[in-house]
Amino acid sequence: MQNTVPRVELHEDALRELDDAVAFINADWDGRGNLFLDAFTVVMERLLVHPRAGRAIGRRARKWVMLHWRYTIYYTIEEYGIFVHAVAHHARRPNYWRNRLR
C-alpha cells in the first residue's frame, strides 16, 4: 500500500485571487502581502492535518475565516487533501464562488 502525502490544490481563479490579495495588501502596506501569504500557508498546513477545522457551509464546502486579514478561504475536503475554491475578501461579492464547487 502506497502512502500519499496530503496536498493542497487551488482552483485557477482562487490562485488568481490569492495573487491579487498579496498584491493589493502589498500596495497599501509594503511587505505585508508576504505576511498574508505566510498566514495562508499556515492555514493550509493546519487544514491538511485537521481538514474539518473549518466551518461547514453545506454538504461538502467548508470555510476558514482569516479575521486579521479580512479574507475567507472556501474549500472542500478531497481524497488527496484540500481543494481551495476561493480566497474571498469579506467586503466583495458574497457567494460569487459557489459555482466553482465541483
Cα separation, 52 vs 88, whole angstroms: 19
Pairing of strands 81-89, 7-10: parallel
The H or E element spanning position 10 is strand 7-10
Could you list the pLDDT tens digit for every one of the 102 residues in the chain? 456 788 999 999 999 999 999 999 999 888 899 999 999 999 999 999 999 999 999 889 999 999 899 999 999 999 999 999 999 998 877 777 778 875
Cα separation, 67 vs 65, whole angstroms: 6
Q: Give the number of residues written for the chain.
A: 102
Cα separation, 10 vs 93, whole angstroms: 19
Q: Does domain 7-90 have CATH number 3.40.50.150?
A: no
Other C-beta atoms closer than 10 Å to the C-beta of 102 total 8
Q: pLDDT at position 3, please?
A: 62
The structural domains of the chain, with segments of one domain joined by +, span: 7-90
